[in-house]
Structure 1
Amino acid sequence: MSAVAVTVLVFLFLVVTILGFAAARWRRADLDSLDEWGLGGRGFGTFVAWFLIGGDLYTAYTFIAVPATLYAGSVTGFFAVPYTIVAYPIIFVFLPRLWSVSHRHGYVTPADFVHGRYGSKTLGLAIAVTGILATAPYIALQLVGIQSVLQVAGFGGSGNWFLKDLPLFIAFAVLAAYTYSSGLRAPALIAFVKDVLIYVVIIVAVIYLPHKLGGWGHIFSTADASFTKFNGDNASAIASGQAAGKGLMPPPTLHWAYASLALGSALALFMYPHSVTGVLSTRNRGVIRRNAALLPAYSFLLGLLALLGFIAVAAGVTVSGNPPNPQLAVPQLFENEFPAWFAGVGYAAIAIGALVPAAIMSIAAANLFTRNIYRAYLRPDATPAEEAQVSKIASLVVKVGALVFVLALSKSFAINLQLLGGVWILQTFPAIVVGLYTRWFHRWGVLAGWAAGMAYGTVVAYRQASPVQAHFGSPLALFPGTSTKVYIAATAFLINLLVTIVLTVVLRAAKVDPGVDQTTEADYTADVDDEGVAAEVDPHAPAHA
């Protein structure tokens, strides 16, 4: 343990903790409503939203799992860079429509919109449950990032399990406390510190480390030689499926896997409840469009960050664990190659980079529970103050669940935890995005398509478990009837669409009640200037059909 590195880490953690609690007084308002506690008063402008949404999307997954996949030699590990680039033109088109209809009707969650659009509480419940299920492993991934930093910083090791994980419990308790007290304002304020730290660390790393290690050419050649040697030494194990091959670039047999991972992840990115929460917290449609144009700056940063995996290989970084845990590669690289004080800054960037999205994710999941389970089924007449209180408690429960998830399951290849959530959350795309443009889909057809996609994706993902990947394994599987591997979520999504379309035709032909659409076309183009119209609508939830 380096006293200097730990001191810097603790100091910066204390700074963001103070900011988290102080956020309750930033833009002071009554936090006893979901609009204020869960959406920051729906008043964030371009500058705040850029940091908030960026801090929401570029998480410990960015700092830990993406470089870890390249360090481990995963030939499809670089897919995260193109998928974030593809996502922004997509959201430029549809998110302003979601903002407008949510602004008009007071929707807080995507499930609120689905409930109102299709006139179906059941479909809204399905979307809410999916969002909670997909968000839980994503929060867990943030805690894995914190745990990796703490372990490399010297807080890990053997001994009493409670004492070993005590720093993680402390970080978790602080996160829970300021999220409870300040709501979405806390991660919005902390995101400023988080993003500054990340930009500084990555820019310094991609300039300083290649210079120290002999240049990028040497880094790539060293990584390639290391992966080639591994493949040669383990040829029989790779051929039998007992080990995964390594490489810098995906071979032709995995091109569809790489492409489907990128496209499927891009379509899923803004289906996550925490992404929608960041969007709905903005002031108007223009803020969303400007951020869709500005956020690709983070993709440039992500490309540089991913290369840290190859740098770690070239630097001879070895990681602990049995089997070795690649999630430790970047923190260990900082420990080995940077001065102690800057290693502490790097640790803090990763830890704070986990706190911001974890807070937003827990808020988003809590809002789904409150609006689309508690209020829709248990307490239809709940007051705004009661909704806010239930959401605060639910956010604590979600974080506890994520903590148990981290401590109980294997941490190897933590990216698969998030990719499994991606399989699930992509199945909400037809209900949400298609629903923003047409009401042709029948509500029961959408529900059946969702169920088919969820079932297929979960079963196939579970079957990918192997000696290399415990529990749910690789996100890739053979496309039915072919020898081509693709992203499981993409195949599940196609099945979802097919079932939805076929059943819609059948149900409409049979004249089955499609439900009452509580929105109008004008709702999808309304901006903040239509505040007077919006005020005439119940601001708490969609009416029950």
Structure 2
Amino acid sequence: MSNHVNVPALVVCVLFFLLVTVLGFLAARWRKADNALHLHEWGLGGRSFGTWVTWFLLGGDLYTAYTFIAVPAAIYGTGAAGFFAVPYTIIAYPLVFLFLPRLWSVARVHGYVTPADFVRGRYGSKALSLAVAVTGILATMPYIALQLVGIQAVLDVLGVGGSGNWFMKDLPLFLAFAVLAAYTYSSGLRAPALIAFVKDTLVYIVIIVAVVYLPMKLGGYGHIFDAAATKFSTVSPVTHKPTGSMVTGPNAQWAYATLALGSAMALFMYPHTVTGVLAAKSRKTVRRNMALLPAYSLMLGLLALLGFMAIAAGVGKDVKGYNAQLAVPQLFDQLFPGWFTGVAFAAIGIGALVPAAIMSIAAANLFTRNIYKEFLKPNATPEQETKVAKVSSLLVKVGALAFVLSMDKQFAINLQLLGGLWILQTLPAVVVGLFTRWFHHWALLAGWAVGMAYGTWQAYGIATPATKHFGGSTTLIPLIGQNGYIGLTAFVLNLLVAAVLTVLLRLARTPQGTDETSPEDYRAEAEAPEPTPGPAPAMAD
């Protein structure tokens, strides 16, 4: 924590924050809808975003403030193991290229706003739709909280957080999220879409300058890697093992590979990423973005190098119990002029506001369409849906703020790891359902329940020096005898249970529910007529 206020950096941060605040409120007039009180207008931006807007929106959505903080922090703390985030984003885009255009098409034809809407329509099951919706909300909440963790790290280094009474200490955070809540309520998805242009531009500028300027200050990349290798070869007094490694060892390769693969599979299961995709104006826009988004993976690889640079700069050296989440903010604070530090911190701060807005909108969409309309008020009008979604988005933000202020930050990080495990269990219902309806909806629900229970139980049993439970995301894989990602193991178990039960339910001739989609729906282009949402069809459960 800084003992002084970095005035130049603070001034630059405040100026950028004022800029995005103005943009957030002006976004309500951008591509203004004929009827703003409609959920696909407020929650999906009217499904009107072209290639570049979608590219910036998804980039701002996927590469968050916590990415900016956590990926270099993982490299700073463990070395090569932290690089798993780079291959998993590379793997993700070819995978999602296969199914996201199909999801966009069927959603366009039937007016689906959430992945749970699709599940309801595909399988005719309220219970399975509810499971997907609740999982999405649960996985999203800690993700929003982690954006606050990123902002808090910046405020601490700026010298305006972490001291004084509880109110004054967190006042900047309260103000930031109050303004975020206001313009999200007013402008919906259009606000983060417009602000994402500023956020992504700042991130690219900061990272390109950093990977050129910092090596010159630190004696070149050779010295940077040597310093990192020296640190990682040091034996920890707690574990009696090296603190990290520059190359992933044989015993860690299964964990590295399964974590990368499982994370790639989960990435576009999150409601906020699906929201960004469904906001695209055409199927072609979705396909183009899956081809263009790997440019962010290059940025992520460069960003990861900042962890090594923080080691070479001596950030946190000899500080007992040092918080690695502060490594990147303190690196910029120490080595850059104050004004550019402000630009970097603004990139991180805005990098929290954009995804937090999209996440809260996605969670609100899920609650409104798949809980409120489905179970509480089936005859709700589009105007009522939109009003409920707006209020829900405010409550989601307040909940995330209360969570991060009252709970230990490590607990928030642990819950986010659980979120990835949980959201992966919705993949069979959503992704497999885009290609085949062979699985029975009761079997999918049972598979989901088994995957959720097994994954949560395994994660609960992982302890570290920092926490007794939920201390990691890898453990021994049954039958293989190697450590691997719990979420992927739970997913395999989920799929096996769903397959076996489907065979049994089919043999028992159990009714499968009504499929309201047709094969041509999955190939529809932008010219497909925009549906007028009516009352939800009767479902058989």
Q: TM-score range by the shorter chain?
A: over 0.9
Deviation, 1:408, is 2.5
The separation in 2 between residues aligned to 1:543 and 1:435, in whole angstroms, is 19
1:191-340 correspondence to structure 2 within 5 Å = 191-229=196-234, 231=235, 233-234=236-237, 237-239=238-240, 245-318=243-316, 323-340=321-338
**Map of 1:14 onto structure 2:** 18
What letter is aligned with 2:211? Answer: V
Alignment counterpart, residue 425 of structure 1, candidates 404, 423, 426: 423
Counterpart of 1:46 (choices 43, 51, 64) is 51
Check conservation: 1:121, 1:544, Cα contact below 8 A. no
SS in 1 for 2:128: helix
After superposition, give the CA deviation of every residue in 1:222-272 in whole Å (9 maximum; x if it has no partner).
Answer: 01101212x2x52xx215xxx884222221101010001111011001000
Q: Name the structure 2 match of 1:105.
A: 110
* Preserved CA contact (<8 Å) 1:61 1:415: no
Q: Count residues in correspondence.
A: 534
1:2 to 2, 6, 11: 6
Residue 89 of structure 2 aligns with which residue? 84
Once the two structures are superposed, what CA deviation does each residue of 1:57-115 show, in whole Å capped at 9, x if it has no partner?
11112201111111112542110100001111111110010001000100000000000
Gap change, CA 1:291 and 1:277, over 3 Å in 2: same
1:341 and 1:182 mapped to 2: Cα distance? Answer: 31
Which residue of structure 2 aligns with residue 504 of structure 1?
502
The secondary structure found in structure 2 opposite 1:530 is coil
Q: Does 1:165 align with 2:166?
A: no
- The whole-number CA distance in structure 2 between the counterparts of 1:247 and 1:191 is 35
2:365 paired with 1:367:
yes
Equivalent residue, structure 2, for 1:544: 538
User: How far apart, in 1, do the equivalents of 2:326 and 2:468 lie?
Assistant: 18
Say if 2:72 is the partner of 1:71. Answer: no
Q: Is the 8 A contact 1:106 1:540 kept in 2?
A: no
Distance 1:197 1:540, change over 3 A: farther
CA deviation profile, 1:456-487 (whole Å, cap 9, x unmatched): 11111111133234542111111124431101
Q: Closer, same or farther in 2 for the Cα pair 1:110/1:540, shift >3 Å?
A: farther
What do you get for the CA RMSD once the two structures are aligned? 1.6
List per-residue Cα deviations over 1:375-427 (Å, max 9, x = no partner): 00000000101000100111111111111221223224965443211100000
Residue pair 2:379, 2:535 contacting (<8 A) in 1 also = no
Cα shift readout 1:292-332 (whole Å, capped 9, x = no counterpart): 00000000000000110111011000189973211111111
Q: Secondary structure at the match of 1:512?
A: coil
Aligned to 2:185: 180
Secondary structure of the structure 1 residue equivalent to 2:484: strand
- Provide structure 1 residue ranges, at least 5 long, that are not aligned to the other structure: none
Give distance in 2, aligned partners of 1:69 and 1:470. 20
**Whole-angstrom distance in 2 between the partners of 1:139 and 1:335:** 25
1:420 and 1:74 map into 2 onto residues whose CA distance is 23
Report the alpha carbon displacement of residue 155 of structure 1 after superposing the two structures with TM.
Answer: 1.2
CA contact (8 A) 2:227 2:312 kept: yes
Distance 1:33 1:462 in 2: 41
**Shift in CA distance, 399/470, structure 1 to aligned 2, threshold 3 Å:** farther
Counterparts of 1:244 and 1:362 in 2: how far apart (Å)?
A: 41
**C-alpha distance in 2, partners of 1:432/1:110?**
7
* Segment of structure 1 superposing worse, 467-476 or 168-177: 467-476
Alpha-carbon distance in 1 for matches of 2:277, 2:318: 39
Q: Which residue of 2 aligns with 1:522?
A: 520
> What's the secondary structure of 1:441's corresponding residue?
coil
Letter in 2 for 1:77: G
* Structure 2 Cα separation of the partners of residues 498 and 57 of structure 1: 30
- What secondary structure does 1:341 align onto? helix
Q: CA deviation at 1:207?
A: 0.3
Offset, 1:170:
0.9
Q: Which residue type is aligned with residue 28 of structure 2?
A: A
- Matches of 1:321 and 1:522 in 2, distance apart? 61
Paired letter, 1:347: F
Equivalent of 1:27, from 31, 37, 47? Answer: 31
In 2, are the aligned partners of 1:107 and 1:542 still within 8 Å (CA)? Answer: no
Q: Secondary structure at the match of 1:360?
A: helix
Report the 3-state secondary structure (helix = DSSP H, G, I; strand = E; otherwise coil) of the residue aligned with 2:155: helix
| Map 1:435-474 → 2, pairs under 5 A | 435-469=433-467, 471-474=469-472
- Give the Cα–Cα distance (whole angstroms) in 1 for the partners of residues 318 and 10 of structure 2: 20
Q: Structure 2: how far apart are the matches of 1:137 and 1:14? A: 26
Deviations 1:173-214 (A, max 9, x none): 111111111000000000000011000000000000011101
> Could you tell me how far apart the structure 2 residues matched to 1:267 and 1:85 are?
11
1:491 equivalent in alignment to 2:489: yes
Asked if 1 retains the 8 angstrom alpha-carbon contact of 2:68 and 2:348, the reply is yes
Mapped partners of 1:128, 1:41: distance in 2: 22
User: Would the alpha carbon gap of residues 251 and 105 (structure 1) be closer, same or farther in structure 2, given more than 3 Å must change?
Assistant: same
Deviations 1:20-60 (A, max 9, x none): 01101111123211110000000100011110011111111
Find the aligned partners of 2:401 and 2:423 in 1 and give their Cα distance: 21
Q: Give the gaps of 5 or more residues in structure 2.
A: none
Q: 1-side partners of 2:466 and 2:229: how far apart?
A: 21
CA distance in 1, matches of 2:93, 2:225: 30
1:139 aligned to 2:144? yes
Cα pair 2:46 2:279 within 8 Å, conserved: yes
The alpha-carbon distance between structure 1 residues 416 and 456, as it changes in their structure 2 partners (threshold 3 A), is: same
Q: Measure, in 1, the Cα distance between the counterparts of 2:161 and 2:320.
A: 14
- Kept in 1: contact 2:77–2:243 (CA 8 A): no
Contact 1:326 1:412 in 2 (8 A): no
